[in-house]
């Protein structure tokens, strides 16, 4: 039929004539028929013997030479062995002048794993919006037992992989390719014609199918799912022994979960636990309130007043105790990209507001001494000797201290080191230890800093936001804090996401959220956010997505930010402060030309990358996505009964979990 040509007929007889159209099978010559079972494919101008092809009529009518082989389309396409001769081979002969001639190369182009899978049950497509998993092409070919010459599959040979389209298996099928592949396969207005596809329209297929060389190992690509009228590579495969193989749809990272390896505990006992002594809560580390003089002056602080929450800036040393800083924005003493990086490479100059804050602090005697003290501490930590430090004048130190005010690497520090009423040093205060209100303010304060870094540094293309909790996750200090780092590049992860969005604007719905919905990985949801167990990550991961139409966190409404905070806080609380984890933010920066939804990945750092991962780039994840979900959901129900979750959060089966819930895509904003 149509654009498939005789290739599809020979490749297993998966597409047969339409109702009432006769079918011819058999062996032998004839114009347009297969020359013989030993002929090989040669679409190009090769000297290799090749099958002769005739042009076909656009209505794909066929003539029969055997009454026993005349079979309606549905029967021929669904019944093994239908329309075959006594020796099991098949021959199809078109008749009539061609309306649209299709050469062998075009037919081969249109044959692929998608075409084979679609062709098996042409007349039994899913209802719109209902997912249906088509049978694996390997199983189909085994049942067909087709015989296709030297390069094909012998009736008894267990090598059906030779017909697999490596170009499709090796990568994600792009949006719209299913329509291009199937328009011609199913003729005018076929059951699987994509929405908005003109009936009978032609479209070239960028995937070129080919017959795999004899002796080549079979490809092991994931199966193709059809959800409504779109297709994508299945990201999660479960092997017969229980091994779960995951592929990240955005980055292509391959992750395996081997049965039994996830039975180990997530955490190790905390060593050197001792009872708390007076002063430990305020002096345990340099981020504690009692040691503020040991770190650079904060750019701002978030305080709770009788009128509500406020952000205060330019607080002098003499004003530190006037208010209690629930959260502080402090310059990182050892920046990833320091002030000198921006000044040297881009001739960056601080804004007038930054210069005014710096001059005001230097003019204050206590502020001046504070800056000099921090500069000396930094030089000591950098390995300078006392003689070298003595050779640095105060003016030079004060000039260097400008970097504290023009910093592009800031830290958002929480007030508590230990939980309220903690009895020993093992009871650290994490994100889940905060109240719902406190966590919302923590998030709002971080978003303020994120926006400010973009406003202050015109050369910043992206600001990375992350939280390292506990030393196995990279934290140098076991005190709750987030970090913000301005960068002059987007970074590899963000570039992968941008590239995926340019290929398919709806990729975060189609390949991420919809897959999580289909595999029952949803954990929690409210009006503006949704959390699910992630797949294709090096560590067990929970992903929290904002469902807002707005991609920039600082432009979202207070309700949307509060909902995002509520879900994130719930996942932290259910995870527990004893589990090392990384919190990684992803958002749309001001220079991006595609809508990238705000989402946060919470990764449990419960394993260590070793030689196997370095050698193979296949990462062993000890916990599969379903176990991540099953660990969190019962605990979330307990927390809700205890009143520790924000109102409006739905859990597990209570979640609507609808396809295409992320409204960042303009096409879904109707």
Burial of 293 (0-12, 13-18, 19+ CB in 10 A): middle
DSSP code string of 84-130: --TTS-----B-S--SS---HHHHHHH-SHHHHHHHHTTT-PPPTT-
CB 149 within 8 A of CB 39: yes
What is the rounded average pLDDT for all residues in the chain? 75
Cβ pair 242, 627 in contact under 8 A: no
pLDDT on residue 508: 97
Q: Quick one: pLDDT at residue 553?
A: 98
Helix (H, G, I), strand (E, B) or coil at 10: helix
Question: Residues 386-400: pLDDT tens digits?
Answer: 889 888 999 999 999
Q: How confident is the model at residue 264 (pLDDT cuts 50, 70, 90)?
A: low
Tell whether the model's pLDDT for residue 222 goes beyond 70: no
Section 277-286 average pLDDT = 92
* 110 vs 496, higher pLDDT: 496
Place 542 in a pLDDT band, splitting at 50, 70 and 90: very high
Residue 286: pLDDT band (50, 70, 90) is very high
**CA distance linking residue 580 with residue 268, whole number of Å:** 10
Query: What's residue 643's pLDDT?
Result: 96
Rounded Cα gap, residues 581 and 583, in angstroms: 7
pTM of the model: 0.68
Please give the pLDDT value at position 90: 39
Encode pLDDT of 131-182 as tens digits.
445 555 455 444 443 333 333 333 333 333 333 333 333 334 344 443 333 3
Which pLDDT score, from 0 to 100, does residue 266 have?
Answer: 73
Q: Report the pLDDT value the prediction gives residue 614, as an integer from 0 to 100.
A: 85
pLDDT at site 377: 92
CA–CA distance, 323 with 335 (Å, rounded to integer): 28
- Higher per-residue confidence, 190 vs 648: 648
**What is the reported pLDDT for 267?**
74
- pLDDT for position 608: 82
Contact call for residues 91 and 25 (beta carbons, < 8 A): yes
CA 284 – CA 288 distance, rounded (Å) = 6
**3-state secondary structure (DSSP) of residue 40:** strand
Per-residue pLDDT at 203 exceeds 50 = no
Give residue 139's pLDDT.
54
pLDDT of res. 596: 97
599-653: pLDDT as tens digits: 999 999 988 888 888 888 898 888 999 999 999 999 999 999 999 999 999 999 9
Does residue 210 or residue 536 have the better pLDDT? Answer: 536
Spatial neighbors of 91 by CB under 8 A, at least 6 apart, are 24, 25, 26, 27, 28, 30, 33, 34, 85
pLDDT for residue 27 is more than 60? no
Q: How far apart are CA 258 and CA 620, in angstroms?
A: 8
Cβ–Cβ under 8 Å, residues 300 and 353: no
Residue 40 has pLDDT above 60, yes or no: no
Domain 235-270+435-670 in CATH 3.30.428.10? The answer is: yes
pLDDT at 263: 64
Percent helix / strand / coil, the chain, rounded to 5:
35, 15, 50
d(CA 609, CA 622): 11
The pLDDT tens digits for 480-519 are 999 999 999 999 999 999 999 999 999 999 999 999 999 9
> What per-residue confidence (pLDDT) applies to 506?
96
Residue 385, pLDDT > 50, answer: yes
Listed by start position, the domains of the chain span 1-221, 235-270+435-670, 276-425
pLDDT of 81 higher than 80: no
* Banded pLDDT at 261 (limits 50, 70, 90): low
Q: What confidence score (pLDDT) does residue 259 get?
A: 82
């Amino acid at each position: 039929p149509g654009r498939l040509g005789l290739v599809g007929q020979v490749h297993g007889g998966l597409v047969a004539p339409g109702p009432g159209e006769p079918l011819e099978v058999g062996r032998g010559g004839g114009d347009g028929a297969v020359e013989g079972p030993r002929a090989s494919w040669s679409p190009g101008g090769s000297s290799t013997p090749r099958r002769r092809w005739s042009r076909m009529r656009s209505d794909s009518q066929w003539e029969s030479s055997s009454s026993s082989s005349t079979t309606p389309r549905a029967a021929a396409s669904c019944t093994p062995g239908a329309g075959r001769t006594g020796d099991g081979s098949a021959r199809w002969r078109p008749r009539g002048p061609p309306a649209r001639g299709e050469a062998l190369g075009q037919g081969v182009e249109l044959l692929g794993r998608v075409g084979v899978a679609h062709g098996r049950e042409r007349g039994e497509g899913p209802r719109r919006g209902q997912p249906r998993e088509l049978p694996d092409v390997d199983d189909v070919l085994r049942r067909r037992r087709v015989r296709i010459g030297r390069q094909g599959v012998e009736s008894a040979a267990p090598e059906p992989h030779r017909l697999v389209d490596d170009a499709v298996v090796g990568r994600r099928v792009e949006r719209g390719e299913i329509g291009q592949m199937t328009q011609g396969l199913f003729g005018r207005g076929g059951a699987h014609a994509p929405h908005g596809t003109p009936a009978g329209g032609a479209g070239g297929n960028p995937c070129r199918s080919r017959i795999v060389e004899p002796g080549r190992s079979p490809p092991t690509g994931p199966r193709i799912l059809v959800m409504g009228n779109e297709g994508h590579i299945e990201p999660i495969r479960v092997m017969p022994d229980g091994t779960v193989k995951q592929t990240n749809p955005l980055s292509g990272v391959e992750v395996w979960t081997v049965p039994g390896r996830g039975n180990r505990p997530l955490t190790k006992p905390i060593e050197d636990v001792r009872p708390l002594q007076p002063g430990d809560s305020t002096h345990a580390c340099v981020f504690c309130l009692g040691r503020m003089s040991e770190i650079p002056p904060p750019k701002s602080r978030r305080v709770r007043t009788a009128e509500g929450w406020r952000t205060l800036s330019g607080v002098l040393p003499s004003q530190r105790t006037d208010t209690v800083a629930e959260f502080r924005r402090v310059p990182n003493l050892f920046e990833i990209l320091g002030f000198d990086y921006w000044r040297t490479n881009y001739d960056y100059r601080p804004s007038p507001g930054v210069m005014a804050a710096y001059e005001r602090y230097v003019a204050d005697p206590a502020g001046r001494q504070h800056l000099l003290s921090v500069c000396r501490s930094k030089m000591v930590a950098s390995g300078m000797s006392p003689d070298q430090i003595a050779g640095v004048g105060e003016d030079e130190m004060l000039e260097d201290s400008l970097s504290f005010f023009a910093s592009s690497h800031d830290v958002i520090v929480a007030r508590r080191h230990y939980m309220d009423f903690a009895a020993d040093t093992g009871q650290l205060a994490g994100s889940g230890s905060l109240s719902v209100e406190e966590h919302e303010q923590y998030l709002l304060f971080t978003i303020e800093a994120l926006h400010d870094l973009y406003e202050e540094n015109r050369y910043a293309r992206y600001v990375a936001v992350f939280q390292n909790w506990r030393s196995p996750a990279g934290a140098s200090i076991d005190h709750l804090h987030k970090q913000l780092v301005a960068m002059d590049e987007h970074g590899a992860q963000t570039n992968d996401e941008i590239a995926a969005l340019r290929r398919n604007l709806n990729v975060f719905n189609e390949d991420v959220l919809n897959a999580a919905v289909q595999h029952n990985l949803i954990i929690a949801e409210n009006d503006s956010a949704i959390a699910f167990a992630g797949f294709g990550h090096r560590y067990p991961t929970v992903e929290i997505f904002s469902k807002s139409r707005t991609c920039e966190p600082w432009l979202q409404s207070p309700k949307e930010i509060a909902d995002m905070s509520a879900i994130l806080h719930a996942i932290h609380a259910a995870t527990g402060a004893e589990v090392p984890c990384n919190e990684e933010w992803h958002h749309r920066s001001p220079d991006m030309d595609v809508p990238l939804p705000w989402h946060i990945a919470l990764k449990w750092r419960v394993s260590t990358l070793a030689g196997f991962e370095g050698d193979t780039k296949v990462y062993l994840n000890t916990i599969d996505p379903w176990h991540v979900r099953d660990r969190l959901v019962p605990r979330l129900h307990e927390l809700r009964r205890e009143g520790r979750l924000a109102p409006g959060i739905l859990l597990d089966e209570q979640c609507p979990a609808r396809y295409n819930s992320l409204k960042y895509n303009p096409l879904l904003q109707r």
